[in-house]
Amino acid sequence: MKNYRITAKLLSPLMIQENRQSDTCQSILYLPGSTLRGALAAKFFLIRGGPEHKDFRSLFLDNSPRFPNLFPTDEKGSVLSRVLPMTSISCKRNSGFRGKDKHGVRDTLAASAASRIMQASANENFWICPECGEDMKPFPGFWNGNPGAPCKFEPTTLYHRHTGIDRDTGTVAPSIFFVTQVMADFRKDDKSEEYHEQYLSGDMFISGEQLEILETLIEDSLFAGADRTRGLGEIQLSLEEIPHPEVKLEDWNEIFKAKLKSSMGNNMPADALSGIYFSIKLESHAILADKFLRPHSDIEEFSSSDFKLILKMTKAQTVRGWQSAWNLPKPDDLSVAMGSVFLFQYNEDEPEKLENLLNELAVNGIGLRREEGFGRISVCDDLHIIDKEVI
């Protein structure tokens, strides 16, 4: 199997409903893997056949590829966006990566881990903006994953206003008014104030046979999301083979230990710098369950005595969806939200075994419903080991 970047160009505004309320419909600001998978399946029904077709089973049922979330990206669609970790913070007054009127972004993983290991309160000054002295708050969203030249990607949003129509008179019905939010099919550059086409991107592993089937479905545009009968959700997909980066565990471990030592000072415990440290960040919501299928927030692959959980920063997220084949809502699932971070300490002297495990999980993901884009992870995020105070 090879790794491909899948890029979606928005040909019309896109709406992915965040909830099922009909009066104010907020849109998710990315294209979920489950929605992408459903749109491609609907296109297959339209031009190829039903679920009994062998190509349908190959692409969607038998050993299905893990369709990714497609996140906002640059004006060319050439950058694979990454989720900002929950450990990232920025000034509450002028938030953003350092630049014009922006006070920069800081990562708190090492400082928080040092506080947890020493069982002491963290240095309060660490959560104060070095530029203006205001508090620093969580900084969520999507970025280019490059600490050397960081850039946050935010799609432009629009609001559509609608009135109800009286069925008897064909005129506006009283007391019926609702608003829907959509992701625009253009993006405004804050620096140049120019308008660009809006692209979304993600990556997926897929076999040669599945690639041939997928290419027949993306020769022309397809529709995804809500309000498709009103012209929303038209996208054009493209594929490009790209390398999949290997985990650089040794370098990351050494730099992170140096940051940890600096945060703890001279009173650190004797075993604080032993073993190998590594972090796991969720690039999508992860539906984690124990052996009785009860929701929980632990990663089963690291539950053995070889691994020690030092710190986790997580948030619960309810996953909702719509099953077009049933014309019914999918059952709600409780997940761990994207951007959640886990820090582990590996205590065995088998670094190659650990690297193999981490590379496997980076490809295959964790938890349930992985074919819909859930449970995607990245290992040892570079943002955790930045050498500057803020970037």
- Residue 318 within a domain: yes
Residue 264 has pLDDT above 90, yes or no: no
Q: Are residues 367 and 260 in the same domain?
A: yes
Which structural domain, as residue segments, surrounds residue 376? 249-385
- Range of lowest pLDDT (27-36, 126-135, 249-258, 281-290): 126-135
**Number of structural domains the chain divides into:** 2
Q: Are residues 264 and 370 in the same domain?
A: yes
Q: Are residues 255 and 373 in the same domain?
A: yes
Q: Are residues 274 and 378 in the same domain?
A: yes
**What angle (nearest 5°) sits at the alpha carbon of residue 18, between those of residues 12 and 20?**
110
- Residue 29 within a domain: yes
Residue 346 has pLDDT above 60, yes or no: yes
- Residue 129 within a domain: no
CATH number at residue 73: 3.30.70
Q: Are residues 221 and 76 in the same domain?
A: yes
Q: What's this model's pTM, rounded to 2 decimal places?
A: 0.92
- Residue 271 within a domain: yes
Q: Three-state SS for 14?
A: strand
Q: Are residues 218 and 362 in the same domain?
A: no
- Residue 166 within a domain: no
Render pLDDT for 67-96 as a digit per residue (tens, 0 to 9). Answer: 999 999 998 888 999 999 999 999 999 999
Residue 237 has pLDDT above 60, yes or no: yes
- Residue 73 within a domain: yes
> What do you get for the CA distance between the two ends of the chain, in Å?
36
Render pLDDT for 351-383 as a digit per residue (tens, 0 to 9). Answer: 999 999 999 999 999 999 999 999 999 999 999
CATH number at residue 280: 2.60.40.4350
Domain end marker among 241, 259, 286 = 241
- Residue 300 within a domain: yes
| Interatomic CA distance for residues 79 and 152, integer angstroms | 11
The rounded mean pLDDT for the chain is 90
| Interatomic CA distance for residues 371 and 63, integer angstroms | 9
